[in-house]
Structure 1
């Protein structure tokens, strides 16, 4: 279906929040935005792009960007303040900017505007939050903040491998794996360090821990890292894989699992991330090869249960209203579920059925927020610039 670049005034208005761009009007994944605009149009919701720069919390009218599918053109339009804002600010550095923070805090104080997922997650905070609840602590690998050599050394004494991840990393960038093993000749403890590159990893070997630590310090630089127990995750044709779950709130405002995908590691990669050489695959096929159909059904059920418990705990501890998150989970060789990572700004899932449902859920949850907020505030219809 085609949709007009002029927003109908009677429809609820959802704003996709992003950063301005002098050359391109705004930044972000345009195809993602167009998909959401199209889904909104099909569901009776007007969706437009709003930049932090144009968002004036005290004003009744602001500039929004609308898309016309017939001409394939973006255009500016004067709109009312959207009643719901979906935060897709693309970079942590943008979000941390003092001016951006001032605007976000001003929006959060406005009762008539609801914003969900107002901030990126910090990996260390996530593991701290999840370790504090019985419902989630069971899924968490041993994790420490990597501030000195003794944190890594003590973990390597307990576990044969330890992963190191940047606290503010994304898409597998900067991940390393340290391993302890016994040398073949002299039977002494030796160490290996795998450093993730663009499509594979480079392995360095050291006879002493001090040499391993010197290389790690060189790789880390000034960035903050966590160190985490390595898990013996299940493999398919000798390649490790993990599960990617999308958890979103539905039309009732309740957490639900939208879909589960799988990511198979590249042949020379220490992560399963697609930008690092990983590939998309069918979780049922991969799990069934190791656990059979009944085992697969049980594992996927446990993964769903874990994801919902984690989503609730993260939202509770973050102190913010969240509407979605993606999660990376590992399955060990015994069928145990392990939580590795969560992302408050999920990249789009390429599995068509998950993709379609994910877009619908964003619109459904936005409608839920508008409906419940209007009941509380007695607000005018969202998006009417004359309100």
Structure 2
């Protein structure tokens, strides 16, 4: 691979032309007339050697070859000279990169270095890939100038810094908003590849999975919430769970239990309230609680395996590697806090290793190897099925669970998973989970990475 560093040219006599200056050896490898590409930006250029630029083997991140461009060219291409890049070339084109976009949500706090900790952790592999990594939001795109006003990772300062940046060639989607489809609408114009490009809500995901013969046995019976559907399910199951179609991390959940004929106990995790209502008040409660307006689903409450009376579930991180293959990069179990039913780490859940959770729940005779293999098989089947949808996915956080009879249940699939529990359980696994999308992004952008056999630092 060819490592390069871009410098501003001091050669004023040809500064009005688009000249790429470099060493004698590299200039001989590049055509004298060609196109220079950086992200979605490109310029027609001439390549010339400059005797003052020393030769380099170009194979070392820390001793890259030097290319010089005029200040006007650097500004036109929006190149950040603090970065170390890879260089790929053909008979007609020179590409500098990779230029990767990290699409975030609209929360204002993403525009601060301290709030980009997870992305900073992912940059621990920067010396393997180099390039320009851009953290941006929908509202930071200037469609007329075809640029982004966002943050880029500066490997010199180890910080995310603000700048005017090029439109990337690959976008790793880490956030969603009301304008979820804009990345797809502009795919042809910008020719960018976007992975995790759509997010199915819980009902859409159920509809995708229910016809799969291998996965259907693991799906809880799911219906859209109406007053009638809720009462009908409560006739068959004394306890049900209401989930908002579009929220994750346990937000918005309510559990309803039939305590006695005509009486319901409500555990509202939106406000951490629990109370009892009569059946005559039920429809009014659903209306005033905005369950019907917000489009909830309803499922029977599963009698999950527990540890000391608290339920737990299983988070599986599935990611595509640089060879475009699905791999399982991590399995963690999440134990709900005492007296709570929600297992998410963000709600106070505790992370456990799979074998530890299985033994605490079922005893030391449990066949943890078999269960681990089953979890891998279920997760891989899900990923293969999602590839058939025609959308571009490369990362899922799958939530599975075991009930008291060791039956598997598929709870949820997230295209924006969080990894807090893994960071507590195993730092190396956490790093690999952070690094994998960076390697995948680099690969589909048309660049390689160094040290493929060892991505952990």
User: TM-score of the superposition, structure 1-length normalised?
Assistant: 0.81
Match of 1:194 among 267, 286, 290: 267
Match of 1:155 among 228, 233, 239: 233
Residue equivalent to 1:209: 279
Give the deviation of 1:180 after TM superposition.
2.5
> Aligned with 1:223: secondary structure?
coil
- Distance of 1:15 and 1:256 partners within structure 2: 23
> Aligned with 1:133: secondary structure?
coil
- Distance of 2:256 and 2:338 partners within structure 1: 18
Residue equivalent to 2:102: 16
- Distance of 1:363 and 1:114 partners within structure 2: 14
Match of 1:226 among 289, 297, 310: 297
Give the deviation of 1:170 after TM superposition.
2.1
Give the deviation of 1:67 after TM superposition.
3.0
> Aligned with 2:446: secondary structure?
helix
Give the deviation of 1:53 after TM superposition.
3.9
Match of 2:244 among 131, 148, 166: 166
- Say if 2:442 is the partner of 1:363: no
Q: Tell me the alpha carbon deviations over residues 38-94 of structure 1, each in whole angstroms, 9 at most, x when there is no partner.
A: 3233444542324434546786765553233554543345554322111123xx4xx
- Distance of 2:109 and 2:303 partners within structure 1: 47
Residue equivalent to 2:121: 35
Structure 1 segment 1-387 matched on structure 2, within 5 A: 6-10=82-86, 11-18=97-104, 25=111, 29-55=115-141, 62-63=148-149, 65-68=151-154, 71=157, 73-77=159-163, 79-89=165-175, 92=176, 95-97=177-179, 101-102=181-182, 104-110=183-189, 112-146=191-225, 148-181=226-259, 183=260, 188=261, 190-197=263-270, 201-206=272-277, 208-221=278-291, 222-289=293-360, 290-292=362-364, 294-317=366-389, 319-351=390-422, 352-371=427-446
Gaps of 5+ in 2: 1-60, 63-79, 87-96, 448-457
Give the deviation of 1:121 after TM superposition.
2.8
Gaps of 5+ in 1: 373-387
More helix per residue: 1 or 2? 1
Q: Is the 8 A contact 2:230 2:298 kept in 1?
A: yes
> Aligned with 1:48: secondary structure?
strand
Residue equivalent to 1:377: none
- Distance of 1:356 and 1:293 partners within structure 2: 32
Residue equivalent to 1:380: none
Taking structure 1 as reference, are residues 24 and 215 closer, same or farther at Cα in structure 2, changes over 3 Å only? Answer: closer
Give the deviation of 1:210 after TM superposition.
3.3
- Distance of 2:300 and 2:98 partners within structure 1: 47
Q: Is the 8 A contact 1:62 1:78 kept in 2?
A: yes
Taking structure 1 as reference, are residues 24 and 205 closer, same or farther at Cα in structure 2, changes over 3 Å only? Answer: closer
Q: Is the 8 A contact 1:26 1:51 kept in 2?
A: no
> Aligned with 1:335: secondary structure?
coil
Give the deviation of 1:143 after TM superposition.
0.2
Q: Is the 8 A contact 2:258 2:265 kept in 1?
A: yes
Greater RCO (Cα-Cα under 8 Å, separation 6 or more):
1
Give the deviation of 1:220 after TM superposition.
2.9
Q: Tell me the alpha carbon deviations over residues 300-339 of structure 1, each in whole angstroms, 9 at most, x when there is no partner.
A: 221221112222323433x420110112111111111101
- Distance of 1:149 and 1:197 partners within structure 2: 19
> Aligned with 1:371: secondary structure?
coil
Q: Tell me the alpha carbon deviations over residues 218-256 of structure 1, each in whole angstroms, 9 at most, x when there is no partner.
A: 323521100012111000111111111111111221222
- Distance of 2:210 and 2:114 partners within structure 1: 33
Give the aligned length.
355
Taking structure 1 as reference, are residues 306 and 269 closer, same or farther at Cα in structure 2, changes over 3 Å only? Answer: same
